[in-house]
Chain A
Amino acid sequence: MEQNNNVLTIENISVFYGHICAIRNVSLDAQEGEIVGLIGANGAGKSTVMKAVLGIQRSSSGSIEFLGKDITRMSTERIVASGIVYVPEGGGVLPFMTILENLQLGAIHFKGNLNDRLKQVFERFPILEERQHQLAGTLSGGERQMVAVGRALMSAPKLLMLDEPSLGLGPKVVAGVFNIILDLQKAGYTILLSEQNARKTLQCANRAYVFQTGDIMLNGTGRELLDNPVVQQAYLGG
């Protein structure tokens, strides 16, 4: 086993949808406590990487290691149980269930005390406690994202994968979402963050990978990429 503090190590994975290649020989890693950004246009393969980690999409080659364990062929159920959670685009909140029920569903593999965990999530997002018996479908986009993140935290995960958390939200709410992400990092979570909002992402990420049509084009620290003329040209509006 390698001597590093990598939470996640992806080596040379490729994912095909039928004959179409979604990602090609992608390698990346995330170290403990880091925010790792994945930026790039729609369809560049950011979500596919996350789905491959979760085992929803299978990679045809390469390997995925999580906390030193090979999870490449593990079932999604066991991958989630081992501490990886994924918040899909739009949050994936179940609209016909209450906020409380959504949160409880986040903890189906959680072994500790459910009530303590719930209390911690409510402390982070007090508004969810106030509205816990409200149907999640009645919430605004930003509030749904909060439920989705809260639900992800219910299992005390070791890796949090957020897929386009700011998509479709107003500017004020977007700022709130990024503040939440930075708070989560302070609390010690390791975060993989896929975003089209490149500037915000590079500002808060320790490191980032730039995706283009299934390949990683560039990678570096957030600062390096913000200063990179190619990135500025393509993703930061010149």
Chain B
Amino acid sequence: MEVFIAQLISGIKLGSLYAVVVICYNLLILVTGILHLGYASLLVLSMYAAWFVLNATNNNLILGISAGIVSGIVIGTVTAPLFLPFIKRRAILEALVISLALGIISGDVMSHWFNLGLPIAFPSSLQMEGTTISWGLTIIRMGEVVTLVASIIIVFAFLYFLNRTKRGRILRAVAQDTEVARILGISVTKTAIFSFALAGLLGGLTAILFAMSTGTASSILGDSLVIKALAVLFLASIGNLRGGLICALILGVVESLAMGYLPGDWTNAIAFSVVVVILLFKPEGLFGEQH
């Protein structure tokens, strides 16, 4: 029972992190039409940025966390212009290649440039290793609790922003109908750049949360993350925010339980078997299209 509860909690934590990543994928898909395959690698690059600053400042947490977040925004904004010509032409395939290229390049930078290509480790102070909550045999690090709470806050803050603010309405207008948005005097280009910056900000935050909860990172994390994100996107149907949140949580829990009870990590195999079945029998995804 204790194992189950521990795995369940860790699964919900993992799922809520996936949820933030999936939100970013959906945001970019809805506003710009781009499935940004390289996004997860860029997110891990922010973890490296945080690690680099932590190392350089003798583990100054505030500077390290800021570096992760700021690098996310910078990476998002700086890479946006690469996509703009393709967004305008709705050239999905070319944009896909650009995003893949960004992921591959940043993956190589991380694995050859930093730390002799070894996985990086974050200081235990970031993971708040000293503070734990224990319940029977279940011991949860404070870092994990913070990750869980923070990612839930991020999700709700994003939904609030999207549904209740002027900028959020503008994003949704572009997502629903680019032509009408343009007629209303919305600059589709500016909105696209803004959504890249926003996805970057969320990516930077998520990078810090990943660092907090796992304590390590390597360029492989990006590859594994993009696979999870794709699984969730196809399960929930691309562009469906609410469905994405639910499926991300389910995937996190399934992954965590599978790791607790099965020899080896079968999550991707399980998840993508379900994806194949769903695509065959319910091509619009579990939740269908929704804006």
Beta-carbon nearest neighbor of A101 in chain B: B169
User: Would you call B5 an interface residue if the criterion is a C-beta within 8 Å of the partner chain's C-beta atoms?
Assistant: no
Interface string of B202-221 (1 = CB under 8 A from A): 00000000000000000000
User: By the criterion CB–CB under 8 Å, are A76 and B185 in contact?
Assistant: yes
Write out the residue numbers on chain A whose beta carbons fall within 8 Å of the beta carbon of B187.
Answer: 75-77
Q: How far is the CB of A39 from chain B (nearest CB, A)?
A: 22
Query: Of B166, B180, B290, which one neighbours A92 at CB under 8 angstroms?
Result: B180
User: Would you call B170 an interface residue if the criterion is a C-beta within 8 Å of the partner chain's C-beta atoms?
Assistant: yes
User: By the criterion CB–CB under 8 Å, are A96 and B185 in contact?
Assistant: no
User: By the criterion CB–CB under 8 Å, are B176 and A96 in contact?
Assistant: yes
Chain A binding site: helix, strand, loop or mixed by DSSP? loop
B151-199 residues with Cβ-Cβ distance < 8 A to A are: 166, 169-170, 172-173, 176-177, 179-180, 182-187, 190
Write out the residue numbers on chain A whose beta carbons fall within 8 Å of the beta carbon of B176.
Answer: 94-97
Given contacts A97-B169, A97-B172, A104-B166, A92 and B177 within 8 Å (CB-CB):
yes
User: By the criterion CB–CB under 8 Å, are A105 and B184 in contact?
Assistant: yes
User: Would you call B291 an interface residue if the criterion is a C-beta within 8 Å of the partner chain's C-beta atoms?
Assistant: yes
Write out the residue numbers on chain B whose beta carbons fall within 8 Å of the beta carbon of A105.
Answer: 169-170, 173, 184
The CA of A92 and the CA of B181, in the complex, are separated in Å by 9
Write out the residue numbers on chain A whose beta carbons fall within 8 Å of the beta carbon of B172.
Answer: 94, 96-97, 101
Other CB < 8 Å A-B pairs besides A88-B179, A105-B169, 9 of them? A54-B183, A76-B183, A76-B187, A77-B186, A77-B187, A86-B183, A88-B183, A92-B179, A97-B173
A residues adjacent to B (C-beta < 8 A):
54, 56, 75-77, 79-81, 86, 88, 92-97, 101, 104-106, 108-109, 151, 155
What are 17 residue pairs bridging A and B, where the CB atoms are less than 8 Å apart in the complex? A77-B186, A77-B190, A80-B185, A88-B180, A92-B177, A92-B183, A94-B176, A96-B291, A97-B169, A97-B172, A97-B173, A104-B169, A105-B169, A106-B184, A108-B166, A108-B184, A108-B185
